[in-house]
Structure 1
């Protein structure tokens, strides 16, 4: 009879396996639900944000599998209890997992930025989102290089040799970057929603998926604290297992919070095309689209545009014009007023 593997004070590998599998399944489920909802509403039309998010899921899955391999090789146990071969295999898997983690986060963020840039009718907003996406891409390239060569060659994966960069400091800096970009992905969409002419309750509901990204920020803060505690640990290899848990949480929450925008129940409560690749201009304040023609008295502020999110790309436009009929009278000379119709008949 085989011995049951238990979670003990010196064996956190089973716990790491459970958490990794659970978070990976949740992220994959969110992606599948998003894909089903979007494809069913858009007649199998895929766009850049879909491809980017698919890439994020692929890297997320690969990163989780690398973490599972680490746990199978003894990661989560004290260094003294493991053989040299298992320690080396665990550190090699850690290097691969770190690179995949950086790439997965980048694609998740850029996917959401691409979606927001596509939906916003404001050119200045799109420039801001493109600028953030460029920053994320550049920082990701630098991060991949730093992570790949964080230790001296040829064994760049061997962080127990002591000839490496300050890993706690680097990952703390990376968490600061994550917090900054996640904050931007919360503030910018909510700011845009604030410009839309919706009731306050609807604005709150539509802001919820973006506010949920605060879970990623909370995980980043926890990750920073754990890296700080790890820097003073007598056994950094064993003390790193909680960091791996927060890493999985950051990665999966970032991906899932992007997918939640396409939940069917949420989309059905939105009456404009914002949530489904529509045009926000239908809900931008009317004074931005108002034109008044001097003395003629024509005011286009009576124009109203309403959008419908029942199907993407099908926005119903209703235009209402107020027609005022005025009768002018000419006093004097005892003559009665001549109406517009009589004047036209006389001229004809």
Structure 2
């Protein structure tokens, strides 16, 4: 079977899933390395939001390894040609893959909300509510995934009479993923607007932090292909487009959370830019710059009010 899996054909999409999954994982790992390296180089420390994104990346790596194993046992091939052993391994791999995915996305989203909380410093009511909603979304999804089908084989979702409505569950989960992303972007924009600086810089910061909105098209594609897969009896083959979009969603989620720390923010001094080494001495990335500016703006507003 392994020799056949190296060739992408109309009846075998396993190699395609493996190649794209590996590519997405490399992008996610590099993003995490850049973020972590920038933080250690700039401020010589890692915060809770940094630890969470590292955990999310580790979970993504484990999830990708499981996807590779699933491909070796039938993912991307027609269900009817699989042995009973491969079918069992396929279902177990899907079960583990979904668990890792939910946990990884939860850590990513909590990392984003905690970064917002650190940046906002005051007036954190809506951010805390958002964190609570995100936590409830992730934890309930994990519980639903754990018990998606009747024990002792909760991974065997081929029998609809013994399982929850997986189509409805994953549609809810992915839709909530989009909605919480939009809420996080709105809260971020509300805080950045209060920064006392030029609109060009505000737009730059909002664009960097708001880049997570570009995950939405991938999530929509995931919903579409997942629903098609759940409607098919060819479980292992019909799910291959959904598997790829899931890996893409995971990659983009990690990438967009890491993006604000990719390079120092170029502020304007005389010529409109500040040297990178100046920012390095100050220990500021785009995120740190935004945190400082929002804090300064709030202080100015409070002093004016007094």
Shared fold by TM > 0.5? yes
Q: Distance in 2 between matches of 1:221 and 1:104?
A: 19
Alignment check: 8 A CA contact 1:197 1:284 kept: no
Shift of 1:255: 1.0
Q: Which residue of 2 aligns with 1:345?
A: none
Shift of 1:236: 3.4
Structure 1 residues 232-247: aligned runs within 5 Å: 232-247=231-246
Change (3 A) 1:287 1:269: closer
Change (3 A) 1:291 1:227: closer
Q: Which residue of 2 aligns with 1:19?
A: 20
Q: Distance in 2 between matches of 1:32 and 1:178?
A: 25
Q: Distance in 2 between matches of 1:286 and 1:157?
A: 56
Shift of 1:29: 0.2
Q: Which residue of 1 aligns with 2:71?
A: 71
Shift of 1:211: 2.7
Structure 2 gap ranges (5+): 269-273
Higher relative contact order (CA 8 A, sep 6+): 2
Secondary structure, aligned partner of 1:7: coil
After TM superposition, the score normalised by the length of structure 2 is 0.87
Q: Distance in 1 between matches of 2:257 and 2:25?
A: 15
Deviations 1:138-184 (A, max 9, x none): 22221111101111111111112332112111101101110111111
Q: Which residue of 1 aligns with 2:271?
A: none
- Of Structure 1 and Structure 2, the greater helix share is in 2
Q: Distance in 1 between matches of 2:50 and 2:120?
A: 17
What is the number of equivalent residue pairs in this alignment? 287
Structure 1 residues 144-293: aligned runs within 5 Å: 144-162=142-160, 163-265=162-264, 267-269=265-267, 275-276=287-288, 278=292, 280-284=294-298, 286-290=300-304
Structure 1 gap ranges (5+): 293-348
**Greater radius of gyration (CA):** 1
Shift of 1:118: 1.1
Secondary structure, aligned partner of 1:95: helix
Alignment check: 8 A CA contact 1:119 1:279 kept: no
Alignment check: 8 A CA contact 1:60 1:251 kept: yes
Shift of 1:233: 2.8
Q: Which residue of 2 aligns with 1:143?
A: 141
Q: Which residue of 1 aligns with 2:110?
A: 110
Shift of 1:34: 0.8
Q: Distance in 1 between matches of 2:210 and 2:57?
A: 21
Shift of 1:234: 4.3
